[in-house]
């Protein structure tokens, strides 16, 4: 079992690439987590996690990450990804991810509503919501990526 993360960082980025996988990799690089090994996790922010604006992790580190991404090879298409975190007053948080063919603002609205819905379902009081998104107009092959990296 991995230790429970104590820090989190919200990141987003979008990029083009010669293939869908390269576009995804380039979006990771733009977002600042391209040299990490992402372990995709579901959407619970551990209690007492502290937000750190910049990741300070060695390349190759195993990094629990909740993320949304979308790739497209349709020139002119608008793609977006966003993440949102809902915080309780004194406990854990809930992370939601969204990606789609829409604007950044629409993606951020959707993910914020998903956070509110998750808190409602749990019967928890929502103290704060943070969202971060990105959008991209596809030139050839592109990816939009948004994530919450959890680290130690």
- Tens digits of residue pLDDT in 6-17: 999 999 999 999
pLDDT tens, position by position, 44-67: 999 999 999 999 999 999 999 999
Q: How many helices (H) and strands (E) does the chain have?
A: 2, 9
Q: What is the DSSP letter of 23?
A: H
| pLDDT, tens digit, 9 for 90 and up, residues 87-126 | 998 889 999 999 999 999 999 999 999 999 999 999 999 9
Find how far residue 150's CA is from the centre of its chain.
11
* Mean pLDDT (whole number) for 65-80: 98
Q: Which pLDDT does position 2 carry in this prediction?
A: 79
Question: Active-site residues: which are they?
Answer: 37, 42-43, 97
Q: How confident is the model at residue 24 (pLDDT cuts 50, 70, 90)?
A: very high
**pTM recorded for the entire structure:** 0.95
In sequence order, what are the beta bridge partners of 130? 85
Across the chain, mean pLDDT equals 96
Please calculate the CA angle 46-132-12 and round it to the nearest 5 degrees.
95
State the Cα–Cα distance between residues 151 and 149, nearest whole angstrom. Answer: 6
How far apart, in whole angstroms, are the C-alpha atoms of residue 149 and residue 66? 7
Rounded-to-integer distance, Cα 145 and Cα 5, Å: 21
Architecture of domain 7-151: 3-Layer(bba) Sandwich (3.50)
User: Average pLDDT in the 126-140 region?
Assistant: 98
Non-local CB neighbours of 82 within 8 Å, separated by 6+ positions: 12, 68, 97, 98, 99, 104, 107, 108, 110, 111, 131, 132, 133, 134, 146
By the 8 A CB rule, do 75 and 138 touch? yes
């Amino acid at each position: 079992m991995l230790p429970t993360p104590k820090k989190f960082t919200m990141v987003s980025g979008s990029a083009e690439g010669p293939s869908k996988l390269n576009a995804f990799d380039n979006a990771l690089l733009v977002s600042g987590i391209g040299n990490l090994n992402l372990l995709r996790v579901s959407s619970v922010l551990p209690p007492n996690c502290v937000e750190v604006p910049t990741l300070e992790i060695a390349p190759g580190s195993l990094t629990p990450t909740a993320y949304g991404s979308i790739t497209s090879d349709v020139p002119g298409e608008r793609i977006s990804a966003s993440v949102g975190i809902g915080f309780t007053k004194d406990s854990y948080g809930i992370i939601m991810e969204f990606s789609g063919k829409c604007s950044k603002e629409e993606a951020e609205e959707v993910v914020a509503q998903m956070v509110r819905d998750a808190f409602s379902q749990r019967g928890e009081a929502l103290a704060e919501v943070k969202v971060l998104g990105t959008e991209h107009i596809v030139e050839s092959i592109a990816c939009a990526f948004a994530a919450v990296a959890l680290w130690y």
